[in-house]
């Protein structure tokens, strides 16, 4: 489990495709403290660490992961948001995030608003019912509060700090993002379904 509070901004340093795709990431984490088999959320996708070295770690991504997330378009130099898995007693500063990407959305617009930027995202049609004003959503692994919803589009404000320490500050209209809907919204919707 994760919180959507990004603790490192790294980048892809190598990509190999021997079968599944192996990504190596540059990181500021102390990799001596990362166990093989540990979970790290990589721009919203929970991935398993398969190897580490000084200043880097590697994961393997299946075809399913590549087809259901933005990972299929990652190449050397792509910036990636990282969050390590929660430990018992950690502060839950964002919202409960599973690291299971529900769909890929698109940036519709980015507009300056004071020191912040107002982003409008468009979600796949099947996800729009899970997005609610003042609800939570994870965009590329970042926990955000939804300002408003109109059809399959929702808006959020991104403060300067978040722009600087995550990939969100570099997003432009047309860019693809990984989306994870709020876990509570998912289960409420399921409970309300009629058999």
- Per residue in 90-146, pLDDT (tens digit) is 777 888 899 999 999 999 999 999 999 999 999 999 999 999 999 999 999 999 999
Model confidence at 194: pLDDT above 70: no
pLDDT of residue 27 exceeding 90, the answer is yes
Query: 103-192 maps to which CATH number?
Result: 2.40.30.20
3 state DSSP class of 144: strand
CA 113 from centroid of its chain's CA atoms: 23
Q: Which residues pair with 9 in a beta bridge?
A: 81
Alpha-carbon distance values, 109 to 77, 112, 154, 178 (Å): 24, 10, 11, 16
Taking residues 174-182, report their average pLDDT: 96
Domains 8-84 and 103-192 share a fold: yes
Q: What DSSP element (H or E) covers 183?
A: helix 183-192
- Enumerate residues 6+ apart whose C-beta is below 8 A from 15: 21, 22, 23, 24, 74, 75, 76
What the block records as the tokens of 149 is 């919803």
Assign domain 8-84 to its CATH architecture: Beta Barrel (2.40)
Q: What residues have CB less than 8 Å from 33, skipping those under 6 apart?
A: none
Phi, psi (5° rounding) for residue 12? -70, 130
Decide if 35 contacts 49 (C-beta within 8 A): yes
Instruction: Determine the average pLDDT of the residues in 81-92.
Output: 87
pTM: 0.93
**Tens-place pLDDT, residues 60-77:** 999 999 999 999 999 999
């Amino acid at each position: 489990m994760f919180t959507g509070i990004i603790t490192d901004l790294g980048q892809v340093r190598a990509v190999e495709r021997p079968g599944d795709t192996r990504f190596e990431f540059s990181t500021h984490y102390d990799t001596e403290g990362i166990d093989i088999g540990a979970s790290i959320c990589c721009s919203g996708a929970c991935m398993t660490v398969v190897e580490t070295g000084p200043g880097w770690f590697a994961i393997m991504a299946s075809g399913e992961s590549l087809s259901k997330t933005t990972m299929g378009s990652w190449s050397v130099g792509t910036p990636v948001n990282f969050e390590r898995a929660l430990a018992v007693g950690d502060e839950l500063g964002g919202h409960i995030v599973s690291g299971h990407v529900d769909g890929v959305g698109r940036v519709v617009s980015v507009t300056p608003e004071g020191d912040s930027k107002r982003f409008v995202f468009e979600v796949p049609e099947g996800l729009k019912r899970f997005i609610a004003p003042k609800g939570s959503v994870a965009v590329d692994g970042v926990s955000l509060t939804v300002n408003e919803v109109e059809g399959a589009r929702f808006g959020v404000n991104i403060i300067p700090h978040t722009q600087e320490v995550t990939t969100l500050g570099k997003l432009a209209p047309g860019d693809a993002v990984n989306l994870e809907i709020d876990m509570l919204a998912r289960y409420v919707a399921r409970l309300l379904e009629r058999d």
